[in-house]
Every structure is written in structure tokens, then in C-alpha cells.
Structure 1
């Protein structure tokens, strides 16, 4: 790691120690006079002007303390005092939770540095399975869920048998509002406007939630909207075998991202012991993206020199790629349920849920321009004074003094964006649809010191879709159909220069990508009408899949309470039945293939809690969990090459085994007061069958067809490795200084530190890092709440982490890492009165540059920046 990162880590360590010192001093001042009050009233997470942040923290900590398992909770009022637009950003405030960003926007979360596939998600206790682009993962996309429709968020870090076993490190429950959260009429909302610093694009957000309830009936409805127009600066790099820069991309994205959400709820309580409810939740993420992309292919220059610090080249090919794409993620969940109490301590709860999930990628424009005429290629000199930002000087390329040679001509100030003599236009489409039905029931009874609970769950999932690919059959069909007079780059160059903060040394203008897409679609429609283009050929048969899953689960558990503690123990049994359908292709022959898997697993767990005093809790847990492979990874689709020696089979692997884990957790929690806590915890996970991408041999007759025995072919796919381990320590501190004299009694501080590590083995490599595991994750915040003012300055930082592992055999060469970065955010809230509050948010104040690199920071693979963001507006409550 470089010196700057070392200094930053040292500073953060110092901040953590300072916070701990302050906490220890505060604890001494408080003594036993302010113990945690387990009987404190529960404060719901509503946006109430005079329900301050500490009340919301009190509710979350009360739930955390009384829980049977190790859990972290964040209430919506806490979320409202951060500039968190989606649920991923909100969850990243919790201990040992890191966030994965896409063009600066939070998308996935990684609990304890683990791959995101090791975390499962539920809505109001009902499990849901995510569908990602191309079926690349089961990981749930949190950027599709606006934070404003949620009442609270809980991260279960240890499992009890009544929770789904499909969670290696955590199970996250997203809890929506209920009409009974507040009696009477309740109307809340907000309106906000802001700007993006890079490019000056608009931010806007709005939400409205209304509810009414009495002792018997309740109704609730909510809507939310967020949109931002964003510029993304981007550089991407490639290197030759000698680790010398061979090409780099200058990219600039203009995009509009939008999150919309809606929720409705009906509740009926015919008596104090019975409640029926119906909930509907909808969320969507929309991304309209214009890509402007120029690749300087330094390694293919006609002549010249390249080195570690720069080069002088003649005739450098430039490739231009432009597109206007649409990305859509949608979730629609409908839940019918009930809670019932009976005599003798019996209780019964039930849920019937339907979840429809979709992820669509529509790229009907991919314009690739090439330069076959060598005189169209620029000559250039480049420097790498900063390896993240190559700077160039451009020159014309002219004929040399002898035939067949070329030389540098006069200097240029701009890239000639019309200097291309060959182009290709292609549509690319991916459509993933998931339809899931879940029925579950839980029966429990309290009997003196014992509580017994048993339950049943049945899930039926149908997933249909395709991976993203560029079928060669479509390419060969369209090349002669779309002439070189069509879609010429010169016809789409505008006079608007790129809005960028990255140096380059030459000027580039935007293309009219939207008109380019429209012209391509018109051309394709004309070709289809003439019988020269078949839209169904867009998706190759080998990328299609249809997967049916039937999961049947049952569990039994017991809780024994005793003086000073309790123990919860039991087991969950899950039976999975899969039917995986797809196609394999050898040459022009396409053959359907269906594989079925059927297996049963037992998942025992034990959670113990000991009250060491009025304000101290010790927890321990042991559990078994599972993570199932992604839909794209287990598809049967595969492309077969019979002409190479040996032949190859590339595609999915329907024989993949799930990843299984045994894990242990321990945690010590010291509740300094009802709204303050100091905790220290550790965990260990031992994982079998770790998934990784590799090359091996076909060992059975799965891919035999047409009389050809393909045993022994190279098999390029996702495989199961042997074992892995993930472990770490979590430190969490949260303190409100109410004992200080006014006005300092409004101060508060919170911070959490996670120290993580882990590795896994494969037949080809020992000690490979888990992608996504930062060894250090830090969240800190300083707050002040008094006199109607609520201010919060927060900082998040994570250490370098492996992003993708290089080589099909997982050799260490070519591993791609993400560089450490931090985000500094400021939120201000001022209550004008009991009904109206002004707010202002400033995000990414450090203007972070997100960097990926291969092996070391001198070899960046991607550099990206989106700039600072600002928002101001009004919140209301009636």
C-alpha cells in the first residue's frame, strides 16, 4: 500500500482510539446512574420533528439487546439523518458492513468483507432472491430499494433455525411500514433539489407517506422518487506481457439514474390477539446511460517506442465505441399474513408471498469504429507522470520518406472523431425474470422458562433469462446488411466538449448517442421487414436458461431462559429440488439439455446470551449455513468447439455444489445508557466448496451429442474449490453525551471498526483472497442535536480489496484490486416547528477517485470519479 494510504490508516486508528478514550471517560462519569433501560418504550422509526436521533438509536439498541441472536439494527429516523438515498447506503453505516458502488452509487453490500452472495435478504421476514444482470448472481440489488419506504433494517449476523439457512455471514431483513406504527392520521414527506458538482446535473427527490389507523383498522400508502443526472469520468487500461501499457481508454458517461418506490398496506385487528394484513411493495431502478469511449491502442502502433514512463508512437489505431443503453431492475412483492395469539401461550404467524423480480439490459446501439486506412490513425507522444492519467500530444500521420513507411506530421489539438472507415452497429439484450411464491407458518408457545417454536416454509421459484453476449451469428448477418455509409461517426459528432476533470491533452466532443440509437433501430426495422434480420437471433441459444427451484424447509427450536441468560438451540432442514434447462451448441447444431439436482441438508445452530450485569451482555453462537450458486453459473447452456485440440466446452456448470459453512460468533456488549453502546465481537467461518472460475476437464457424458464423445474436453466454467476461511474482529462504539453541561449535551459520536481477513484454496492455487474482502472497514460520525438542529458529519473508509482474480487457474498474476477510499458526508436538519424541517445534504465531500489496479498501484486498470453531490429541501409531518 502507498504512503498516503498508510498515513490515512494511521489517522483512522488514532480517531478510533480517541473515540474509545472519550467513551471510557464518559462511562466513568455516568457510572451506574444511567444504566440501559430494557423496559424503555419502543420508539418507531418515523420521521418526527421532535423525536431526535438518540430516540431512534434507543429503539434500535433496545431491539439489539433483547434479540435472541447477534443482530445490528438501524431505524429509519437514523437513515433520515444521513444522505442515504437507497438501502445499501443506509446499511453501510452498521458495523463490518462495506458497500460496493457502481459509478459512485451504492449497489451491493458486503457484510464482514464476504462475497455478496454470502448474504441473503428478506422483506418483512419473507426471503427474496435477487436477479442481477445476465444472472451473474443471486445477490440482491439494494439500489432498487429506496430507503424512505423502510421502517428499519436489521443485519442478522448469527442465525436461529427460524431464519433461512441461505446465509453464510448475514441475513438482512428490510422492514416496511405498518399502518399501526402510529395511531390516528399520519402524513409525512419530503421534497428536495440539488446539483451534481461534476457536470452540474440535477438531483431531485420526493416522498410521501400517509397512514390512518384506529384500534381495529389501518391503511397506509407511500411513494418515493429520486433522480440524478450524472457525469462519470473514467479511464481504463490494458498491459502487455512485459507489464507495459498497451492501450488505454478515455471514457465519459452521461447518465440519468432514477429510483422509484411505492408501498401499500391494510391491517385488521378484530381483537387484541389477532391481526391480518396485506402489504404490497414495489421498487425500481432505472439507468439511462450514454457512453462515449475512445481506446488508444498503443501496442498496435505502426512504429515507435513504449516504456514505463511514456512513449513516442507513429500511427496509433483508435477505436471509438458509443452507445445509449437502458438498464432496469424491478421488484414487486405482495404479502398476505397474520399474527394470532391463543390460550396457554400459543402463538401462530403465517405469510403467503409472491415476489416478481426482473433485470433487463437493453443496448440497441453498440457502435464500434475502426481505422483500416493507416493515414487516419493519429501519431502521438504520451507521458505517465501519473499512471492514472496518461496525457497525450497528437500529430497527423503522414507517408514516410520511403514507400510503405509512415511518419509524424503536424501537431493536432483534438481527436478527429470522424476519422473512421469501418463501423459496426449491434443490439445486445439481456432479460431476466424471476417469479417466486413463498408460504410459511410459525407456531410457538411460551411455558415458564421454555419457549418452543416450529415452522414450515415452501418456496417455488421460476427464473428465465439469458446471459449477456454478442452472438457471432448476428454479427455475421448484420455486417453485410449495414453498409459503411450507415451510422458514420462523423454524422453524430456534436460541438459540446466532454465535461471532465481528468487530464488528457486533447479535446473530445460528445456524440449524439440518442439519435445514433434511433437510427440503428430504424435500420434494423427496415432490415427485419425485408427478411434480412431476425430479432430473435439477438440472444444466442447457449446463453438462455430456465431454472425451476422448489425449496421445502422445516425447523424446530427451543429457548431456555435462566437467571442471567438464555440459550436458543435447534435445527433447520431444507430440501432443494432444481430443474435446469438450456441449450448446448456445437457448430450450427443446437441441442436442448436438462439437468436435475435434488439434495437435503440439515442446519443446526446454537445462540447463547448471558447478562453479566444490568448493562453488559455476552453472546456466543455456532451455526451451519449455505450459499447457492448464481443462476447464470448453473445454467446448462454451453458453447462447444470440436475443432480445437483438445476441444472446449464453455458455459454454465449445472453440477455445481452449494457452498457450505460452519461458523462461530462471540460478542461482548456494554450498554453505557439506553442510547449508547460499546461492543467487541469476533467471528470465524469455515467454508467448503468455494466457488471460483477455472478450466478443468469434462469427466462425464453430459455434453455428448451427435455421436461425439467429449469426455476429456477442456471445461471452462465456474467450479467448486476446496475449503476457505473468513474471520475478523468488530469494534462498535456509540455515545450520546447527555451528561455534559449545556449546550454540549447535544453532542454524539459513533464509530465502528472491522478488522477482517480470509482466504480459500483451489487445486491450482493456495491462499487465494476472497473478492471483496477489505482488511479494514471504518465508519465514524460526529453528531449534534439540540435547539431544533440536527447535524451529522460522517466518514466511511475501506482498505484495498481483491475485486477479480486473474487467470482461469486462479494464478496470482493478473489479480485486480480496488484501492482504498473514503467518503465524507454532511447532513443538516433544522426544525422550523413541530411540522416543518429544513434539510441540506452534502455527499462525497472528499471528491473520491475510485481506482482499480492489477498487482500494484503503478498498473491501474480503472480510474473513475463522479464528483461531489449537494441536496437541500423540506421535510414535513402532519
Structure 2
């Protein structure tokens, strides 16, 4: 296969020089006399941890534990902790992370799903369980946070300035999930939650079940858990097609209105177990095994009507003649899952602590969308009003008349079944060994890991022309339960029955027909990736400060196999790539006073291409003279970062902090097109030297991300008399600025914000805890952010600003039965009935608006 050399020379010598200086500085410190001085300190991780116990105040004691852990950390980190009775403050990790300064979430149809660490891209964040990093279910790299169960989460560390021992060497941050140990509860322990609720759109029901049980004695402990969170849903969606009719680059008109109503249900489920053995004496500290599965499923029902017409000016109202109507109906399913298993031990060899680990992880991303489409070319007329695109109005009539027409029963001129199937599976086997020893006032740590990863996947899309059923027979007389105006008279269809009847009829006509379509060769993904990593780091204490320094080296060997498709004929192709990254870092932590701390950090990181981006497969179009496909020659994104923070711990459960950070990012990956010599890829199709467009993924230049963040956590317990001492508040504010250069977009390239980055993010909450009551009101807001770059400088898609107002109140019953503590709770989400909105280039030209309503839940938790 021809190599796709599109990346160019993007290295900045000043950045390389700074990295070299960091490396030399870390090495110089490591060989200092202090490091060579051997000590007799006993390595005991538990002895370095302070046990915090605050009762009957779930929010305050969680904050106190998190603040104490942050204060003792050796890097810039924020922590979320479970309360003293073992409950995490939110049902999912995605919801909890919105309260960390600088972290924002991006969701789908009102549900938080991905994390924008410090407002950056999803891919700039890595995730681990108890220090073992796992693959992301999205494209093999990107972790999803909506399905990770809270019931097993003891604490979460959001590392903003990474140290060499942290896996993955991320650009912006690493999130480590510490799971519960069976020994955290002596004897038998149980935590159970049952909840039920509703959403105000269509009275959709929600259910929540969570159970964690454990048992331990002095030597042996076991833990098991299971969760199910199921939500029926009803979502309004309107989408638009703004166009430029003058050719001056301004979107001035609209040529279609797309009305959608989504239904069905979503569910998160998880299960797993953990066993641990701690001998009474000897060099073995502990031996453990753990297994965690978590998954997400979306059973989606879609009812959609698209009205296409000659362009009409934006912000106008009037009448349109000659409208064609397209109907799309779907009963589909999306699934993602992660299954991670670890065995490990901690033991002492002389004065060394040795920690070997072996991990096996599988992920799966699956989509099945059988889409029934009917097209009506007999035109109709309509009155329209698009002066408010957040709620467009269209009233259909028979052509040239004022006679209302039922758009749900129009006789189609063409009917299709578009059967879409997508699957990506990954597996990883990883071996790790870490060692640690104290040498006087310096702690030395080092480690090696070897990770073997494989990924296979493909897409499929098969179109069947002509349906063996009458789609109109499946229409009901039930109008959409819509928050938007429904002047088109959209109704629900029996989509599941339509899907099953269509497949059954096609099978009856052709017994060889398969509801699962054959994969598309040009989209095939076959990846093998081996990552060998090692690190060495030291932590030296001196006076009221410590210095953490070291380097991580990662060697990546990557190979990919796939197909080149020309006129429907597939030929096997393959490609490979390898690279080594040297990643030094330096962290200084200074106690300026008893309650003041200063932190300074210099770090480096990488973000590898996703498996979809780096696949070998490609498609050649001899007619249009174009090529499209993956880019195995993509370089990993690389960063050089600086962090500084000042922290004031003015009470045991209170903190005020301010920080500034900067990241310079090379090789920013983006979708786009480049001009290549076609004969390098398909010499039998293109003449030597013939320049053709290649639609693929490219490396951009000159990425940067700069921000400041402020954080306040305040508890009135030590400041105000009762009953006012139950009040507390928290808030954080992050101001960001980012940019990168995409040289292949437009005639001269464009400068654009790094996707996923908002200029402003803030979160605030107030709480009251006393007399067994714990209540919290939380607000989250983030500014607009770039979602994707498209094929021209005026066609970028943005998410508009989003907000969420949520509330939770719980009451602990004043008595215990059999040692069990019982809590009743109520939750309300999206109290302002906020909507999600996307637009093209400016907020005056939205292309999607969604409403999903408020949600309420009531339940009971028992802790034993």
C-alpha cells in the first residue's frame, strides 16, 4: 500500500528543547546525593493515609475526604470521594465529574456521556481502574463515563498534571477510579438502592437498582455488585439544512425542515466481584483479583418527517409550494460495553515494594439501525414560520390549496430499507510491574508494562429498493407527545412491528436473505498494536516542599490490515507504523504556610490516533476521481504543558484555589481532505502525477490550550452557629482559550478552536445538612464549543451553550433496624427544562435543536 504522507514536518524546535531540558533536569535531580542515601523507612501505603470519619453529613464528609487527599497529593489533582457510609454522590461517573473544576461533559439527548477535561477533546483523557488503564469503547481510545457504576466507586482522582507513573501519558488529564475494597467494611456489609421516577415528556418511566455486598475478616475479603439503571425516553428533535444562496460564504436560507421524535429506552448495567487476601505476616502484603463489567444499551425508536423545498430566507414566514416529503422510521439498537479483569499482588523484597499486575480487557461498540424510508415526489404546499428556529412551524396543505393534508398517509413513490450495521471489538492483555523504595528523603519508583491490543470491526449499509409491506398500515392515530409545536400532525408508528414484518417478508421471498448485512470492505478495521512502556521517577522531600521528577518512555508498534475497493472489487492492503515518545515531567509542591500550598508542574503527553482514523482501508472512486479512507501514517498528538496553582485550606472541609495552565499541542488530528498523487494509491486508475483529493484524517499544526480556573468549597460548620452551620456551597469557574491550524481546509487553511473546548465553564452548588436532612442544588453551565470541522471555513458545527439545574434531597431515618441505616431520597434533573442546540458557524443558523424535558426520581437506600 502507498504510504499516505500528509502530516508534514510539524515539530517545533523550542518545544523539543524544553522537553530535552525537562529530561536533563529530571536526570540531574535523580542522581543527587540525597537519592543515594539509603533509609530504613518501612513501606506501608496505609500508614500514609489519614482515616477521615464524619457521620450523618454525606456531602460534608465526602468533601473533607476529597480535600485532604488533594492536599496530600504530589501533583495537580482534584478528587471526588464517597461518604463514610460508602455512597458515591452521583449515580454515574459522568454526573459526578461535572463538579470538578475545569471538567465539562458532552452528552446525547440530555444525558452526560463524555468528558471534556479542562474543556479539551474526549481523546485527551485516559481512564484507569485502581491504576490499570483500560481501552475506550469509542474508537478504541475514547472512554465513556455514562455507564461506569457509582456503586463500586470509592473515589475518583482527576489528575490534571500527570506524573510518569500514570498510564497512558495523556495530554490533558487522567481519571483513576479507585474501587471499594472488601476490607473497607468489617464483617458483612451491604449497600442497596431502589428508585423509580418519571420524565415529564410522555411520562416516561425510570428505574434504578444497585447492590453492593461484601464480607471480610482479618485475612480474607470478598465483594460483589450489580446495577441496573433503565430510562424510558421521549425526545423532541428538529434539524435544519441552512444554505448559502449568494455564494458569498454566508448561510442565508433554509432548504429543508426535519421533524423527529425519538422514543424507546436506555439502560446502563454493571456487575462484578473482587477478592483479596492479606496474610498475617511475611513478605506478601496482599493478593487480589477483580472483575468489572459495565455496559450501555439504547433501544431507539425514531419517527421522522423531512420536508424539502426551494430555499427560503432565514427569519421569514410565508407559503411554500412544491414540497417533497420523506418519511424515516426506525427501531434500532446501540450497545457499548467494557469487561476488565485484573489479578495482582503487593509484596516486599528486602526494602523494595513490588507490585505486579496482569490485566485483560475487552470492549465492544455495536450499532444496528434498520431504517425504513419512503419518498413522496407528489408535491404539497405549506404555510411556514421560521422566525424562531428553536420551534419552527410548518402547516401542510394539498398542493395549491388550503386543504389540510395528512403527511402520515401519503402514498410513497419510492420505499427503501436502509439496513445499517456497525461493530468494533477490541481486546487488550497487559502485564505491569512497579517497584518502590525509600532512600532517605527520596522515594524512588519505577515500572515496566507491555500491552498487546487488537481491534476488529467494520460498517455495513445495504439498501433494499421496494418494501414488501405497506408502511401506512403501521401508523397509529396518536400524536407525538411533543414539547415543540407539532403543526405537521406527526404521529407514532408501530416501528418494531414494521421492522419485524419487513424482515419476515424479505426472508419469505428469499430464504438466503440476512437481516445482518455484509460488511463494507472499504470500512474494515484490522489493528494490532503493541505498547512497551517504562518509567522512573523520584519524590524528594526537603523542608516544607517536595519535588517529583522523572520520565516515561513509550514505544508503539502499530500495524493495520484492510481493503482497497475500486469499482466494488476489494484487494487486501496493509500498513504499519512505529514511534517512540520520551515524556519527562517535573512537579514542585511547596507548603507556603500551614494552610497554603503552591504547585508548579511541567509535563508532556500524547494522544494516539483512533482505530478508525488509522485504518488501512480505503475506497477509490474512478468516476469522480477521489479517494477516501483511513491514514495509517498519522502521528500521535503531542503536548508540552505547564500548570501552576495556589491552594488555601481555610478549614477541614473548605478550600479556595486558583490555577493557570497551558498546553502546546502538535499534530492535532482532524477530518479533512488533502491532494495526493493518485498513482501512489491506485496506479491502474490514476496516471502518474495525477493529483486527486483524498478524504481522510490529517495532522494539524500549532495547537494550544490556555486557561485559568478557580475553585471554592465552603462548609459553614466551623463558622456559623446552629442551625445555620448546616449550610455549605461549592463553585468553580474555568476560562479557556484554544486554537489549532487546519492547513487542508479551505484555500489557505483555517484557524479553529480545538474541538470540545468551551471559552467558559462554571458549576455551582449549595447544600444544607442537619437533623438527618441532606439537600443539594447544583447548576452547571458551559459556553458554546466546536463539535466538528467540515469541508469549508464556514461550515464548522458547534454545540450551543448548555445548562443544567439539578436538585437532590435525602433524609436519614433516625433509627436503625438490625444495624441498617435507611435513607429516603428524591432527585430532580434539568429543572429549567433546558434544551440542547447545535449550529453551523453562528448561532443564527442552527442545524439541530433537542428537547428532553425534566426528570424526577424517588427511592430508598439501605446501608448495613
* TM surpasses 0.5: yes
Q: Give secondary structure in 2 for the equivalent of 1:538.
A: coil
CA distance in 2, matches of 1:409, 1:82: 61
Residue 616 (structure 1) shift: 0.9
Partner of 2:249: none
Q: 1:736 — aligned with what? A: 715
**Cα-to-partner distance string for 1:793-836 (whole Å, 9 max, x where unaligned):** 110010111222232xxx43022222112111110010013411
Task: Return the alpha-carbon distance in structure 1 between the equivalents of residues 217 and 405 of structure 2.
Answer: 71
CA distance in 2, matches of 1:61, 1:83: 15
Q: Please list the CA deviations of residues 87-129 of structure 1 after superposition, one character each: whole Å capped at 9, or x if unmatched.
A: 1111111110000010111110101111111111111111111
Q: Is 1:186 aligned to 2:189, yes or no?
A: yes
Q: Kindly indicate whether the alpha-carbon contact (under 8 Å) linking 1:233 and 1:251 is maintained by their aligned counterparts in 2.
A: yes
TM-score, normalisation: structure 2: 0.90
Aligned length: 799
1:847 touches 1:867 (CA, 8 Å); kept in 2? yes
* Contact kept? 1:854, 1:861, Cα under 8 Å: yes
Q: Which residue pairs with 2:135 in the alignment?
A: 129
CA apart distance, 1:56: 1.6
Match of 2:631 in 1: 653
Cα distance between partner residues in 1 of 2:596 and 2:48: 15
2:802 is the alignment partner of 1:821: yes
Instruction: Tell whether the 8 Å contact from 1:124 to 1:173 is kept in structure 2 after alignment.
Output: yes
1:447 aligned partner: 439
Contact conserved, 2:94 with 2:113, CA < 8 A, in 1? Answer: yes
Question: Is the CA contact 1:418–1:493 (under 8 Å) kept in the aligned structure 2?
Answer: no
Please give the root-mean-square deviation of Cα atoms over the aligned residues, in Å: 2.1
The partner residue of 2:697 within 703, 718, 721 is 718
Shift of 1:69: 1.1
> Is 2:679–2:685's contact at 8 Å kept on the other side of the alignment?
no
Corresponding residue for residue 380 of structure 2: 378
Aligned partners of 2:87, 2:515: CA distance in 1, in Å?
49
CA gap of 1:827–1:568, structure 2 versus 1, over 3 A, is: same
Q: 1:690 aligns with which of 660, 668, 689?
A: 668
Asked if 1:587 corresponds to 2:592, the answer is: no
Which residue is 1:497 aligned to?
Answer: 479
Are positions 1:389 and 2:391 aligned together?
yes
What SS is found at the alignment partner of 2:163? coil
Counterpart Cα distance in 1 of 2:566 and 2:182: 58
Q: Quote the offset at 1:178 in angstroms.
A: 1.2
1:856 aligns with 2:842: yes
Q: Distance in 2 between matches of 1:858 and 1:609?
A: 47
Q: Indicate yes or no: 2:69 matched with 1:63.
A: yes
Is 2:119 the partner of 1:116?
no
Partners of 2:345 and 2:229 in 1: CA distance: 33
The reply on whether 1:754 has 2:731 as its aligned counterpart is no
The correspondence for 1:351, drawn from 357, 361, 367, is 357
Paired residues of 1:823 and 1:846 also in contact (CA < 8 A)? yes
Query: Do 2:149 and 2:227's aligned partners in 1 also have CA atoms closer than 8 Å?
Result: yes
Deviations 1:537-581 (A, max 9, x none): 532101111101000001111111100100011101111001101
Structure 1 equivalent of residue 455 of structure 2: 463
**Does 2:361 correspond to 1:361?**
no
Residue 146 of structure 1 aligns with which residue?
Answer: 149
Q: Cα distance 1:654–1:248, how it changes in 2: closer, same or farther (>3 A)?
A: same
Per-residue deviation, 1:598: 1.4
Residue 667 of structure 1, CA deviation: 0.7
Query: Aligned to 1:631, which of 593, 607, 611?
Result: 611
8 Å contact from structure 2 (residues 85, 863) kept in 1: no
Aligned partners of 1:534, 1:51: CA distance in 2, in Å? 58
Match of 1:159 among 140, 159, 162: 162
Determine if contact 2:82/2:89 at 8 Å carries over to the other structure.
no
Q: Higher mean Cα deviation, 860-869 or 486-495?
A: 486-495
Give, in angstroms, the shift of residue 40 of structure 1: 8.4
Query: Is 1:222 paired with 2:225?
Result: yes
The CA distance in 2 between the partners of 1:570 and 1:144, in whole Å, is: 34
Instruction: Report whether the alignment pairs 1:574 with 2:566.
Output: no
1:373-412 CA distance string (max 9 Å, x none): x2xx321110123122211222112xxxxxxxxxx12421
Do the aligned partners of 1:413 and 1:506 also contact (CA within 8 Å) in 2?
A: no
Counting only pairs closer than 5 Å after superposition, residues 203-222 of structure 1 correspond to structure 2 as 203-222=206-225
Aligned equivalents of 1:733, 1:572: Cα separation in 2: 33
Secondary structure class of the residue paired with 2:323? coil
Quote the residue 1:795 is aligned against. 779
| CA distance, structure 1, for counterparts of residue 101 and residue 846 of structure 2 | 30
Matched, 1:669 2:647: yes
Q: Is the 8 A contact 1:165 1:603 kept in 2?
A: no
CA drift of 1:139 comes to 0.8
Asked if 2 retains the 8 angstrom alpha-carbon contact of 1:849 and 1:864, the reply is yes
What secondary structure sits across from 1:517 in the alignment? helix
Native 8 Å contact 2:779 2:803 kept in 1 = yes
Q: In the alignment, what sits opposite 1:771? A: 755
Q: Distance in 1 between matches of 2:58 and 2:434?
A: 35
Question: In structure 2, which of residues 833, 836, 857 is the aligned counterpart of residue 847 of structure 1?
Answer: 833
2:228 counterpart of 1:233: no
Distance in 2 between residues matched to 1:231 and 1:178, nearest whole Å: 39
Q: Distance in 2 between matches of 1:674 and 1:521?
A: 64
Distance 2:563 2:663 in 1: 37
C-alpha distance 81-506 of structure 1, shift in aligned 2 (>3 A): farther
Distance apart, 1:78 and its partner CA: 9.7
CA distance in 2, matches of 1:841, 1:534: 45
> TM-score, length-normalised on structure 1?
0.88
Deviation at 1:310, TM superposition (A): 2.1
Alpha-carbon distance in structure 2 between the residues aligned to 1:84 and 1:581: 42
Q: Does 1:280 align with 2:261?
A: no
Contact 1:555/1:571 (<8 A) preserved: yes
Residue in 2 that maps onto 1:812: 793
Q: Residues 83 and 825 of structure 1 are in contact (CA less than 8 Å); yes or no, is this contact kept in structure 2?
A: no
Distance 1:528 1:622, change over 3 A: farther
CA contact (8 A) 1:81 1:829 kept: no
User: Which residue of 347, 355, 364 maps to 1:340?
Assistant: 347
Report whether the alignment pairs 1:260 with 2:265.
no
1:702–1:527 Cα change, 3 Å: farther
* Mapped partners of 2:426, 2:173: distance in 1: 23
Match of 2:539 among 547, 559, 574: 559
Give the distance between the partners of 1:635 and 1:466, measured in 2 at CA: 11
Q: Deviations over 1:30-67 (max 9, x none)?
A: xxxxxxxx9984248xxx97353222212111111111
1:512-552 CA-to-partner distances (Å, cap 9, x unmatched) read: 100111012213433552x4x46675321011111010000
